[in-house]
Amino acid sequence: MDYVKYIRSLVGNKKIIMTAGAVIIYNDKDEILLQHRGDDHFWGLPGGIMEIGEKPNETAIREAFEETGYNIEITDYLGDYHNFNKSWPGGDEAHIICFIYQGVIISGEMVIDGKETLDLKWFNMHDLPNIDAIDHVKAISDYYNKK
């Protein structure tokens, strides 16, 4: 049983604090790779919840591979971002603290599993889709504003 399932077995849908790692994967066209997520059906950054014994950058790298099929190299740390009121269709609630990095693809091939990842697409700053996760919105804004 993974960590989140274990905690949820104890507290049900009540709000919990969750720590996550995510990555803004960018290319030389100044585009970022976004994932159409299967859990909440919104677009967002590749990333997810830390497992016990994992560092945030390791989470970002692992989740990027699991959700995209790409091995990435982290090039910079963008910051820690909070989503104080995240909720999912099943009723689970959380305050998410997400450590967000910047990174590039070093190998692999795009994989869309149809379950965790419904789609993957490159976007520039002028054609971003609706992103529900406020921490991702803020991080993407910071990423483009620091360029």
Give the per-residue pLDDT at 39.
86
Nearest to 49 by CA among 118, 98, 116: 98
- In whole angstroms, what is the distance from residue 49 CA to residue 44 CA? 14
Give the per-residue pLDDT at 35.
98
Report residue 2's pLDDT band, with 50, 70 and 90 as the boundaries: confident
Q: What is the pLDDT of residues 3-54, one digit of tens each?
A: 888 999 999 999 999 999 999 999 999 999 999 999 889 999 999 999 999 9
Q: Tell whether the model's pLDDT for residue 1 goes beyond 60.
A: no
> What's the mean pLDDT in 47-64?
96
> What's the mean pLDDT in 55-62?
98
- Give the distance, in angstroms, between the CA of residue 54 and the centroid of all CA atoms in the same chain: 16
Report residue 77's pLDDT band, with 50, 70 and 90 as the boundaries: very high
Specify which residues 43 forms β-bridges with. Answer: 36, 131
- In whole angstroms, what is the distance from residue 48 CA to residue 19 CA? 8
Domain count within the chain:
1
Give the per-residue pLDDT at 125.
94
User: Residue 60's domain spans which residues?
Assistant: 3-145
CB 27 within 8 A of CB 111: no
Q: What is the pLDDT of residues 95-119, one digit of tens each?
A: 999 999 999 999 999 999 999 999 9
- In whole angstroms, what is the distance from residue 6 CA to residue 137 CA? 29
Q: Tell whether the model's pLDDT for residue 80 goes beyond 60.
A: yes
| CATH code at position 38 | 3.90.79.10
